[in-house]
Amino acid sequence: DFVDFDGNPNNDDTWICVEDLLCIYNFSANVTDPDVNDVLRFSYIFENTTLTNFSLNSSTGILEVNVTTNFDTGNKIIQLNVQDSESSPDSAKLRVRIDPVNDPPVFINLNKREFNESELFTYIINANDEEKDIPYKFNASFFSCILVTWSNRTNCELFNMLSFNETAGIINFTPTRYDVGTYVINFTVRDLNNTIQPYNASSSIFANFTVLNVNDAPFFTYICNNEIAGGGIENNPFACDINATDLDELFNLTFFSNQKWFLNNITQAVTGFNASIRISIIPGDSAVGNWSINISVKDTGNIDKNFQSSGKSIMINSSIINFFVDNRNDSVYLFLIQNIMAFQDTPYSIEIN
C-alpha cells in the first residue's frame, strides 16, 4: 500500500521535494486511530526504503528530508510504519520525488592577498561545481578602494581577470606605484552548459587585495648649486639651499653630512613630497681649504598598508660637493699682560706673546 494524500485511490500520490531545501512531511496527518488516547509510535522499514538524507521523529511522525546533492535526487520510496500501544503495526509506502537543482560553482582557494608594487603578481583561482558544468566563467568587479596619497588613479579597476582553463581563472599583472592601496573586490564564478535549472548559476565572494609600497630612495634636486661655485671666505657668513624629493615619502626627510661644521643633522617635514633646508654658517680658521663634502638625505622608511611609516627599508641618497673656504690674513694681537708692581733699581722679566 502507498500513502494516499487526496483520498483518490486511482492516482499515485507523490510527495515532491527540491534539492538543497528542507522538505517536511507530516506522517501523522495521514494516520487515524479510533482509540483517541492511544500513543502512536512512528518508524520506517529500512529494507524497503530507498530514500536517503532524512530523519523521522518517532513521537510526532514528522519526516524531514534534506537532500543536498544531485546523486540523492530522483524518485524514492520510504516505507513508513505506525503502531499504538495495543495493536499490531501498520505500514505504507511514501513516494518521494526529489527534483535536482543546479548548484553554483564555488571558489576553492580564493583568499585575501598582499603583494608588492612593481613586482609581477600571478594568482590562479580555482573553482569546483557539483554538476561539473564546465567551462566556468570568472569575473572580478571592484567594489571600493583606498589609495595612497600619490596615486593618480581615477578608479579602482586594478586588473582584468582572465580564464586560465575550464575550471580556473588567472590574475597576472604588475602593479605600479600609483596602485598602492587596498581594494575590495567582488569575485564571481558562473557555470555554463547546464541541463538542470537554474541555468548559469553563480556565486560570489568579496576579498581584500592590498598593493604594498616598495620604498623609493629620495633624490636631490638642488645642492647649493649656484652658491657653492663662489666658495666661502673665512669668518664671513655663507648660506645656501638644499632641496630633495621623495616620491613615496609622506612624513619627513633628514639631511646630514660627513662634515658637521657644514651640515650636522636636520629633519624637515615634506610638502608635496619635497623638503628643503638652508645652510647658514660662518666658516672659521679650521674650515679653510678645499673640502669634498658628502651630503646625504634619508627617508622614514617603507609606507605600510595603513599608510604609516614602518621604519623599515630606510633609503639614503648621497652626493659629494666640492667647497673651498678662502683664507683671510688674521691680525697680530698680544695676549693680556698682567699688572706688576715695580721697585726702583730692581730688574724684572716680562713674557710677551
Question: What is the pLDDT, as a whole number, of residue 9?
Answer: 78
pLDDT at residue 307, as a whole number = 92
Cell of 155: 578608479
Question: How many angstroms separate the CA atoms of 261 and 320, rounded?
Answer: 16
Average pLDDT rounded to a whole number, residues 123-131: 96
Q: How many whole angstroms from its chain centre is CA 42?
A: 55
Instruction: For the chain, count helices (H), then strands (E).
Output: 0, 23
**pLDDT band (50, 70, 90) for residue 353:** low
Statement: residue 166 has pLDDT above 80: yes
pLDDT of residue 345: 73
Position 115 scores a pLDDT of 97
Given a cut of 90, is residue 37 above it in pLDDT? no
Least confident of 16-25, 223-232, 242-251, 312-321: 223-232
Across the chain, what does the average pLDDT equal? Answer: 93
State residue 332's pLDDT score.
66
Lookup result for grid cell 553563480 = 202
Write down the pLDDT at residue 14.
Answer: 94
pLDDT over 70, % of the chain:
98
pLDDT the model gives residue 283: 95
Coil, strand or helix at 348: coil
> Is a pLDDT exceeding 90 seen at residue 61?
yes
The whole-number pLDDT of residue 136 equals: 96
| pLDDT for res 34 | 77
Residue 88 has a pLDDT of: 83
pLDDT at residue number 318: 98
Q: How much is the pLDDT for 333?
A: 66
- Whether the pLDDT of residue 39 is over 90: the answer is no
The tens digit of pLDDT for each residue in 103-117 reads 999 999 999 999 999
- Classify residue 105 as exposed, middle or buried by CB count within 10 Å of its CB (0-12, 13-18, 19+): buried
pLDDT score of 171 more than 90 = yes
Q: Which distant-in-sequence residues (6+ apart) come within 8 Å of 234 by Cβ?
A: 283, 284, 285, 287, 288, 325, 326, 327, 328
Judged against a pLDDT cut of 70, whether residue 89 lies above it is answered with yes
Return the percentage of the chain with pLDDT > 90, whole number. Answer: 81
* Beta pairing class for 74-83 and 62-65: unpaired
Short-list 38, 40, 30, 35, CA closest to 1: 30
